[in-house]
Structure 1
Amino acid sequence: MIRILVADDSATVREYLAFLLDQDPALQVVGKARDGLDALEQAERLKPDVIVMDVHMPRMNGYEATRQIMERVPTPIVMVSASSTRYEAATAFEALKAGALTVVEKPTGQDHPTQAESVRRLVQTVKLMAEVKVIRRWPRTRDWGSGVRDRGLISELPSPSPRPLAPGSQKIRLIAIGGSTGAPQVINDILARLPRELGAPILIVQHIAPGFTGGFADWLAQGTRLAVKLAESGEATRPGTVYLAPEGFQTGITTEGRIRLTRESAEEGFCPSASYLFQSVAEAYGRSAIGILMTGMGRDGAAGLKRLREAGGVTIAQDEESCVIFGMPQEAIRQGAVEHVLSPEQIVGAIRSLVNHG
């Protein structure tokens, strides 16, 4: 049985969320908190398996509550939001940076056409996040790392056979990044450390709750010198610009460097899909591209990254130590798609070296 603490300043919403979660026989709501301070107190007292917490609450919001919970009583935290406005999204993503695992939309009312799907997504997310082993949050002066451990058996994985990551004759013209659970905060930190004059565009597929992609772009833009925007069909990519795949579209690139958006079916259950992006980059750019697969659950990205490696591109997976969930990088390593397994710090160094000096 997965024990859950629900935190929301609306009594009606608290009861509604508790009712929805209690309908699943594998879930049990053991506490209901009216704000962030109450959530912190009940988390210390009840030791729940998962906390489902609102973003904006009086006395202490979801960000500050997350920060203190991860310092005092580390617990998997799922942020829920009824709004994807810029302000709401920014607070939600700051909570992810503080240690929350993911953000999902609040289930809609019973008469809403998306109610069943939003409930299914919340229940599934709570179950998946309950499996993540969190640890006490790192000191606030350190940005790298995840505050979480999902320990895989790295010794049992095939060892990559990397080429040297030193600058050479290989000119890098494009960077493609795929990520899921835990990736937003790491992507934010990586982009913050890249120079404004970066000599290649960056394309990103991030698995995220519907309605939050625009807010994610705004949040990333606040912390980097690079330009950040949602990708638009047919636009020419430019060096020093980050393009986020919009929700509901498979995102690729043409040989002329133009964004290609299509309504194709989901790959590995996702649209946009990291594998679709990597495959497109392999076909259009081959050895002049870098593919980076970040933390996340599942298999998305592995097949596409393998195609990119076969085409001569540089392929990188985030290392297990810094991953929230090692699933996606681990699967890519198992399939022989990964040439280099690097920490976020090393990924920054590789990009800076290969793009501007390769």
Structure 2
Amino acid sequence: MPFCEDNKNISVLIVEDSPVVRDLLISILDSDPQIRVAGAVESGEEALREAKRLHPDLITMDVILPGMDGLEATRRIMEEVPTPILIVSAAWVSTEVEKTFRAIEAGALAVLEKPSASSVGIDVRARELIRAVKVMSEVKVVRRWARNSRGEAALTVPDDLDVGKVVQQPFDVVAIGASTGGPTVLKTVLSGLPENFQAPILIVQHMTQGFIGGFADWLSRASHYPVSVAVNGQEIRPGHAYVAPDGLHMGVNGFGKIVLARGEPDHGLRPSVSHLFRSVLRAYGKNAAGVLLTGMGRDGAHELKAMKDKGMLTIAQSRESSVVFGMPGEAIGMNAASYILPPEKIARMLKKLNAKQPPADLRGVFRRPGEANQDC
């Protein structure tokens, strides 16, 4: 089904087998003056054919389709006609959630929950969809930047990664923030860490509500690293990663226990990276590492600068490896990152630095709050 509105400059191909949902997506996207629905199809085979014919700026992809499903269609499109793909999926269907994250692993950029005209908050969902389409449609431009023009090369770590010259400060916990493009980067980072990694990892990944449990399960399987959704009061342990749950800020106290809170959104977000970084700074002083990965916006950038100023190891993802260079770019712009690295080198740095330390239980990882506050 082709559409012709030449005055709109972002072209979108919709792949959705439900006529009701397809019409709703068309209505939402057509309501924006910058977006043009170039076509709407109902199968993976049609999606591949129309992607080659129309060369849209972005594809919205359902994962459960007749014939070739959305996962296989994503793989084929990324192999044959690379195009930004936004998965629009049903969070309440477990098989669909599993395929959603496999599609992200295959090259899709992000996931949004499938809108429903009868659902509460349809206006919010519509705004989220329009915003995501506008941001994702620009990803191809970011990926064409082979080199940056902001002097990042001076801060990258050489291939031999001489850790002894990089930093002397040990860390007892790693705090990571990510948004758009984060799932596959987190997979790369965690996959590069050993089973005996001597620090707990706390992760805030911006994601549409309803998908975080499936994301944690997928990330654990895909990276072969233990990952779970954080529980309030849970003791964090080395060799494990904890993901902030839907709708709650995640922090940690000086006793090494998870603290979840339903406070005000930070940067319009809950959970927020900023909240996590502030909490880690209060609880651990300089004995922590902060990592800011790909994502839109500026969540966590100022707090990463505070962590660096306190003497922590701080890392921002490099421009050329980021899907969206918003969050790490903001941090780099304010000199918040000690090092600017692609995902593989982030894992190598954390691994080598952690290997230089004695086991966590011999260092007294979980200090009393008063002891940590003396550093703040």
When normalised by structure 1's length, the TM-score is 0.90
Report deviation, 1:41.
Answer: 0.2
Report the AA paired with residue 292 of structure 1. V
1:98 corresponding residue in structure 2: 106
What is the total number of aligned residue pairs between the two structures?
Answer: 345
- Output the CA distance in 1 between the equivalents of 2:129 and 2:146: 24
> In structure 1, the residue corresponding to 2:295 is in which secondary structure?
coil
Query: Structure 1 residues 123, 150: CA separation in 2 closer, same or farther (over 3 Å shift)?
Result: farther
Question: Identity of aligned pairs, percent?
Answer: 44
Report the AA paired with residue 7 of structure 1. V
Query: Structure 1 residues 149, 257: CA separation in 2 closer, same or farther (over 3 Å shift)?
Result: farther
Check whether the contact 1:160–1:340 (CA below 8 A) recurs between aligned residues.
yes
Check whether the contact 1:150–1:325 (CA below 8 A) recurs between aligned residues.
no
Report deviation, 1:13.
Answer: 2.0
- Output the CA distance in 2 between the equivalents of 1:201 and 1:85: 31
Query: Structure 1 residues 308, 225: CA separation in 2 closer, same or farther (over 3 Å shift)?
Result: same
Report the AA paired with residue 189 of structure 2. I
- Output the CA distance in 1 between the equivalents of 2:352 and 2:95: 35
Matched, 1:278 2:307: no
1:38 to 27, 46, 53: 46
Report deviation, 1:220.
Answer: 0.8
- Output the CA distance in 1 between the equivalents of 2:249 and 2:353: 27
Report deviation, 1:129.
Answer: 1.2
Matched, 1:348 2:347: yes
- Output the CA distance in 2 between the equivalents of 1:335 and 1:161: 17
1:120 corresponding residue in structure 2: 127
- Output the CA distance in 1 between the equivalents of 2:21 and 2:245: 29
Runs ≥4 residues deviating over 6 A: 161-164
1:298 corresponding residue in structure 2: 297
Q: CA RMSD in A?
A: 2.2
1:208 corresponding residue in structure 2: 207
Report the AA paired with residue 283 of structure 1. R
2:17 corresponding residue in structure 1: 9
Report deviation, 1:245.
Answer: 0.5
- Output the CA distance in 1 between the equivalents of 2:138 and 2:145: 8
> In structure 1, the residue corresponding to 2:46 is in which secondary structure?
helix
Report deviation, 1:218.
Answer: 0.6
Matched, 1:78 2:86: yes
> In structure 1, the residue corresponding to 2:130 is in which secondary structure?
helix
Check whether the contact 1:76–1:100 (CA below 8 A) recurs between aligned residues.
yes
Q: Any stretches of 5+ residues in structure 1 without a counterpart?
A: 136-147
- Output the CA distance in 2 between the equivalents of 1:267 and 1:168: 31
Report the AA paired with residue 150 of structure 2. S
Report the AA paired with residue 126 of structure 2. V
> In structure 2, the residue corresponding to 1:321 is in which secondary structure?
helix
Check whether the contact 1:63–1:95 (CA below 8 A) recurs between aligned residues.
yes
1:198 corresponding residue in structure 2: 197
Q: Any stretches of 5+ residues in structure 2 without a counterpart?
A: 1-7, 358-376
1:155 to 140, 147, 150: 150
- Output the CA distance in 1 between the equivalents of 2:346 and 2:93: 31
Mean CA deviation greater in 33-42 or 57-66:
57-66
Check whether the contact 2:61–2:70 (CA below 8 A) recurs between aligned residues.
yes
1:63 corresponding residue in structure 2: 71
1:357 corresponding residue in structure 2: 356
- Output the CA distance in 2 between the equivalents of 1:209 and 1:32: 23
- Output the CA distance in 2 between the equivalents of 1:287 and 1:113: 44
Query: Structure 1 residues 189, 104: CA separation in 2 closer, same or farther (over 3 Å shift)?
Result: same
Query: Structure 1 residues 125, 251: CA separation in 2 closer, same or farther (over 3 Å shift)?
Result: same
- Output the CA distance in 1 between the equivalents of 2:297 and 2:147: 13
- Output the CA distance in 1 between the equivalents of 2:12 and 2:234: 45
- Output the CA distance in 2 between the equivalents of 1:169 and 1:28: 53
Q: Which has the larger radius of gyration?
A: 2
Report deviation, 1:114.
Answer: 1.6
Mean CA deviation greater in 168-177 or 253-262:
168-177
Q: Please list the CA deviations of residues 86-105 of structure 1 after superposition, one character each: whole Å capped at 9, or x if unmatched.
A: 42222111111222111101
Check whether the contact 1:54–1:79 (CA below 8 A) recurs between aligned residues.
yes
> In structure 1, the residue corresponding to 2:286 is in which secondary structure?
helix
> In structure 1, the residue corresponding to 2:250 is in which secondary structure?
strand
1:144 corresponding residue in structure 2: none
Report the AA paired with residue 209 of structure 1. T
Report deviation, 1:226.
Answer: 2.7
> In structure 1, the residue corresponding to 2:242 is in which secondary structure?
strand
Q: How does 1:237-252 map to 2 (within 5 A)?
A: 237-252=236-251
Report deviation, 1:252.
Answer: 0.8
- Output the CA distance in 2 between the equivalents of 1:200 and 1:87: 33
- Output the CA distance in 2 between the equivalents of 1:296 and 1:214: 20
Report deviation, 1:224.
Answer: 3.2
Q: Please list the CA deviations of residues 40-96 of structure 1 after superposition, one character each: whole Å capped at 9, or x if unmatched.
A: 001111111111110111211112111111222221111101234442222111111
